[in-house]
Amino acid sequence: MSTAPLFLLDPLPGAGPARLDGAEGRHAATVKRLRPGEVVLLSDGRGGLAHAVVEAAGRDTVELTITERADAAPPAPRVLLAQALVKGDRGELAVELATEAGVDAVLPWRAARCVARWEAGPRGEKALTRWRTTAREAAKQARRPWLPVVEEPVTTAALARRVGTTGAALVLHEAASERLADVALPADGELLLVVGPEGGVTDEEIDVLVAAGARTVRLGPEVVRASTAAAVALGALGVLTGRWGRP
């Protein structure tokens, strides 16, 4: 039996009637083709999660009855991913995989060796919108009650300032002497994970981030691509911090 699909509904009401309309309603009615009696999950993207039964489906609306509602605690520690811009659809792949692996927020990073450039204006806004849409859809696919936030892109200087505000900051680097598995990780607060571009993080960027309080770590003996490194690291963090052991 497959897991019930998840749809976003904000605000999320308590037990009783509810309606999916707009884009979510069209997707539920025309793509998923929900029928009376089927069970679905609803979330407001901020921890609220509800079970509901389909009562009726129209052309672009679905009428529901919520049978149970609960609030999921946020993951701890909260993992913020600084993902360097990656060319083509590999940037969206990085966001998709990281979201499915449990990232809590994504910070697009304009690293020195980024091939992709998000300049101010319509093109940059379009690229940022694609990342945000990808995170939203991946969170629904993973049945996550918490939607990751994709923030505005930052420079290295701004990223260094962010490092100074987090409980811990780790820069993935294949030449690092420490392994991720050997680093003491916080149980709560915010953990910043930094992933560089295809060409790697420059020595100057490493110096700036380390001076701000970050540590360089490696995942293992292999070199992981920029589009998949975050997902691999998040899988490790899920086990090492106990995030995956929490309800």
Which CATH number fits the domain that encloses residue 28? 2.40.240.20
| 3-43: pLDDT as tens digits | 899 999 999 999 899 999 999 999 999 999 999 999 999 99
**CB-based contact 57:26 (threshold 8 Å):** no
Does 244 have pLDDT greater than 90?
no
d(Cα 22, Cα 28) in Å, to the nearest integer?
10
Check residue 230 and report its DSSP letter. H
| The last residue of a domain, from among 46, 71, 96 | 71
Residue 213 belongs to some domain of the structure: yes
Burial class (CB in 10 A: 0-12, 13-18, 19+), 60: middle
Burial class (CB in 10 A: 0-12, 13-18, 19+), 182: exposed
Q: How confident is the model at residue 57 (pLDDT cuts 50, 70, 90)?
A: very high
| The last residue of a domain, from among 71, 99, 123 | 71
Three-class SS state of 12: coil
| The last residue of a domain, from among 71, 100, 120 | 71
Containing domain of residue 232, as a range?
A: 78-245
The reply to whether 23 and 103 lie within a common domain is: no
The reply to whether 28 and 144 lie within a common domain is: no
The reply to whether 185 and 205 lie within a common domain is: yes
Residue 1 belongs to some domain of the structure: no
Does 221 have pLDDT greater than 90?
no
Residue 164: predicted pLDDT: 94
User: Token pair 């110096």 is at which residue?
Assistant: 207
**Which range has the worst mean pLDDT, 49-58, 61-70, 219-228?**
219-228
Does 154 have pLDDT greater than 60?
yes
In order of 10, 20, 87, 238, the CA distances from 44 in angstroms are 5, 12, 32, 23
pTM of the model: 0.93
Give me the CATH number covering residue 157.
3.40.1280.10
| 136-152: pLDDT as tens digits | 999 999 999 999 999 99
